[in-house]
Amino acid sequence: LNRLSSSADALGKLRTDLRAKYPEDTFYRRDAFRSDFAAYADQTLCVAQSLQQVPTPNARFGDADARLDAALADLIEHTRAGREAVRARNVSDYRKWFKDVDAKLAAVREAAAIQR
């Protein structure tokens, strides 16, 4: 349960750190943006995928675990799409990522909090 909490917090911190550098719904054309975003996406994917591997503590958490896994799968797919948008320099797809990223992270945080 502690790992769930700390990992959910880590996902939020990754987003906060990226937002501090690039706060607007703007596709930055600087090379640093692409590499910073790739690092953010890779770290987010790593944390989310490792969270998917955490076993359910016991049967009473089964429904909550299924919700968390679904939220993580959604975040993983969304993060991959954002990473591809930045790699391809697709501004429209980047804006879609930007518009939904905070909701995806909130869903993971909420699902992780239910298990506490």
| Per-residue pLDDT reduced to its tens digit, 48-80 | 999 888 776 665 666 777 899 999 999 999 999
Q: 58, exposed or middle or buried, with CB in 10 Å at 0-12, 13-18, 19+?
A: exposed
Reported as a single tens digit per residue, the pLDDT across 4-60 is 888 989 999 999 999 999 988 788 888 899 999 999 999 999 999 998 887 766 656
* Per-residue exposure over 69-80, b if at least 16 CB sit within 10 Å of its own CB, e if not: eebbebbbebbe
Taking the model in full, what pTM does it have? 0.88
pLDDT tens per residue, range 98-112? 999 999 999 999 988
- Using CA atoms, how far residue 87 sits from 20, 39, 46, 64, in Å, is 21, 12, 18, 34
Q: Is 102 helix (H, G, I), strand (E, B) or coil?
A: helix
Smallest Cα–Cα separation from 115: which of 47, 59, 76?
A: 59
Q: What local confidence, expressed as pLDDT, does residue 31 receive? A: 87
The whole-chain average pLDDT of the chain stands at 89
